[in-house]
Amino acid sequence: MSDVETEFLFEIDAELREPNLMIGGVPDGSRMIAHVEGGTFEGPRLKGIMPASGGDWVLARADGSIKIDVRAALTTDDGHHIYTYYGGRIVMSPEQMSALGDRAAAEALDPSTYYFRTNPLFEAAMDGPYSWLNHVVAVGIGRLTAKGVAYKVYALK
């Protein structure tokens, strides 16, 4: 078995609509829905926009971590649509968690002091130029921004 190798795919900046839709306490924790308002992505092999097309079904768990459940669309600069979906985790201190209600305060948090990871998968047209994404398992390293979230996304080789 060899070490894990990655290839940089793109960086994505996602804008999330405010306010979030707060569901509240559910059996597994506290649920809210963050709607994707828009965004952009860019990398060596693809770039484009993230249209207002999806969201994150966030679950704040009893252990203090946040479970991510995202479904969204990407539209490339040459007009192709890609569906992306991913789970993930955010783990931060209680003090950092309290900043999540204030986007400027959340952006000011040093990303090296919290854990924000995702595992994107993709669906692209089989006869299109991005069909190679159908065979990619990716990892994303996230950070909080004033408009929502940003990720650097890498394909596992």
Nearest residue to 114 (alpha-carbon basis) of 91, 133, 94, 82 = 91
Coil, strand or helix at 9 = strand
pLDDT of residue 100: 85
What would the mean pLDDT of 5-31 be, rounded to a whole number? 95
Tens-digit pLDDT profile for residues 83-142: 999 999 999 999 999 888 888 999 999 999 999 999 999 999 999 999 999 999 999 999
- Cβ neighbours of residue 61 under 8 Å, at least 6 residues apart? 28, 29, 67
28 close to 60: Cβ distance less than 8 angstroms: no
140 token code pair? 């994303």
Which domains are delineated in the chain? 6-156 (2.40.160.20)
Percent with pLDDT over 90 in the chain: 91
